[in-house]
């Protein structure tokens, strides 16, 4: 039976890749499709690439602010802890899911401002806590390496994306500056 006219396909949210932040600052997915016959013997060409921008909003728990990040120091370790983010549909307000993975950027220093310590993409984490070894040195943005233990830590936590960057401001969910460690 031949089917003609517009058709609709639905992709489960859990089958989508990580979100991408595009050059214009919007966040979404780049998708394309192809049509396969029921018996799997015939395939169409791939479609052009389309940009799909979901209606997502990212919410911290009630009463939590952008700076509600806990930094706990124990011996040579520094632990960063935050509350999970809820991803909701902007139109309906329905919960889609809790965010499971995050991109973390750290800046170690001693309160310098000129030159400023360098922000480092530390890692992608699953969950809402991560431990780090307190470094014995750190770098400034003029390429100077300071060979002493930093006593300040700044943290930025973003929802995981395909292209982690501090420019992904639409995915920034927590930020804490100059916390003494």
Distance between CA 102 and CA 125 in Å, rounded? 5
What confidence tens digit (pLDDT) does each residue in 88-138 have? 999 999 999 999 999 999 999 998 888 999 999 999 999 999 999 999 999
Write out the DSSP string of 118-163.
PPEEEEEEESSEEEEEPPS-EEBTTS-EE-S---EEEEEEEE-BSS
Q: Would you say 20 and 29 are in contact if contact means Cβ atoms under 8 Å apart?
A: yes
Q: Would you say 149 and 136 are in contact if contact means Cβ atoms under 8 Å apart?
A: yes
The predicted pLDDT at position 12 comes to 81
Distance between CA 136 and CA 110 in Å, rounded? 12
Distance between CA 29 and CA 42 in Å, rounded? 27
Q: pLDDT digit of tens for each residue in the chain (181 aa)?
A: 566 667 777 878 778 888 999 999 899 998 888 888 888 899 999 999 999 999 999 999 999 999 999 999 998 999 999 999 999 999 999 999 999 999 999 999 998 888 999 999 999 999 999 999 999 999 999 999 999 999 999 999 999 999 999 999 999 999 999 999 9
Q: Would you say 87 and 99 are in contact if contact means Cβ atoms under 8 Å apart?
A: yes
Q: Would you say 164 and 158 are in contact if contact means Cβ atoms under 8 Å apart?
A: yes
15 SS3 class: helix
pTM for the full predicted model: 0.87
- What is the 8-class DSSP label of residue 171? G
Domain ranges for the chain = 57-180
The fold of 57-180 is: Immunoglobulin-like (2.60.40)
Write out the DSSP string of 34-65.
--B-TTS--BPPPPPPEEE---EEEEPPTT--
């Amino acid at each position: 039976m031949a089917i003609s006219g517009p058709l609709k396909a639905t992709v489960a949210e859990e089958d989508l890749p990580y979100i991408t932040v595009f050059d214009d600052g919007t966040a979404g997915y780049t998708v394309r499709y192809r049509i396969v016959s029921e018996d799997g013997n015939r395939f169409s060409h791939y479609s052009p690439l389309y940009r799909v921008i979901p209606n997502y909003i990212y919410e911290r728990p009630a009463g939590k602010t952008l700076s509600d990040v806990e930094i706990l120091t124990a011996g040579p370790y520094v632990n960063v802890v935050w509350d999970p983010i809820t991803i909701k549909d902007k139109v309906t307000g329905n919960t889609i899911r809790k965010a499971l993975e995050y991109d973390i950027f750290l800046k170690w220093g001693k309160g310098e401002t000129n030159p400023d310590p360098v922000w480092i993409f530390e890692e992608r984490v699953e969950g809402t806590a991560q431990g780090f070894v307190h470094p014995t040195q750190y770098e400034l943005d003029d390429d100077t390496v300071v060979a002493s233990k930093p006593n300040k830590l700044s943290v930025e936590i973003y929802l995981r994306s395909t292209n982690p960057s501090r420019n992904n401001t639409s995915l920034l969910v927590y930020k804490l500056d100059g916390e003494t460690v």
